[in-house]
A = this chain, B = another copy of it.
């Protein structure tokens, strides 16, 4: 029987170290096709490219592995793969391994997770992986066993579609990892501190830098709590943004 097809993408770009780890894990499970952005696309969220054309380049091809680069966003990569390139439906979508946390509300800004969410809308189970380590050169190979364990579980399970997981791994040695926990997204927000500078032409400019404010640090069922206690957090993700409690409240408004 032919091995299953695994689709791989990321947001750190086709040259990222985390992508190599993702490909390594995927190759243990099946044949692999990668479409990743040419350049780093961190913080690109669910952005799509509407005003520029997209180029697609074959980077590498060998037994059981094809790698393409797309000069667009992570979501562009998924769309181009699923609506143009792929001749066969993959069994699984893997996004990452991202250099930096995508827990809590960061899921909204994340290109890694946007690619996974977009992929799940094609009716394929998808998983986004991130490590809470922003170093772009970090080697995540040590986490391969944990990542593989989650991938195997999803491949073996009876899945209700759509299905998308946001997996975050704490930046500690594998021996220190306390386990894997299914969680909900912690409530919180990013507060920015804009660093103001002056360019050589005398114009002020700003660098965006921020810190996450956890609104429920003691809630043990959240991804933030899990990560702070050395657990790998696994949050199932949906695309319905409707606030049903608010819908009930405004249902009787008279406009």
Contacts and interface: CB of A to CB of B under 8 A. Distances in A.
A192 B180 CA distance: 36
Given A182-B251, A184-B240, A246-B236, A45 B45 contact: yes
A40 to B, nearest CB: 7
Nearest to A193: B83
B45 A47 contact: yes
Contacts of A247: 182-184, 235-236
A228 interface: no
Contacts of A250: 157, 165, 182, 234, 236
B114 A53 contact: no
Contacts of A207: 53-54
Contacts of A235: 241-242, 247
Prevailing SS type, chain A contact patch: mixed
Interface in A114-156: 114, 117, 121-122, 149-150, 153
- Bin the interface of chain A by size: 35 or more
A194 B84 contact: yes
A208 B49 contact: yes
Contacts of A184: 240, 242, 244, 247
A119 to B, nearest CB: 11
A91 interface: no
A153 to B, nearest CB: 6
A42 interface: yes
B239 A108 contact: yes
Nearest to A82: B192
A208 B46 contact: no
Contacts of A114: 45, 108
Interface of A: 40, 42-51, 53-56, 75-76, 79-80, 83-84, 105, 107-109, 114, 117, 121-122, 149-150, 153, 157, 160, 163-166, 179-180, 182-185, 187, 189, 191-194, 196-197, 199, 203-208, 210, 234-247, 249-251, 253-255
Q: Ordered nearest first, which 3 A-B pairs have the shortest CB separation?
A: A236-B246, A45-B46, A238-B243
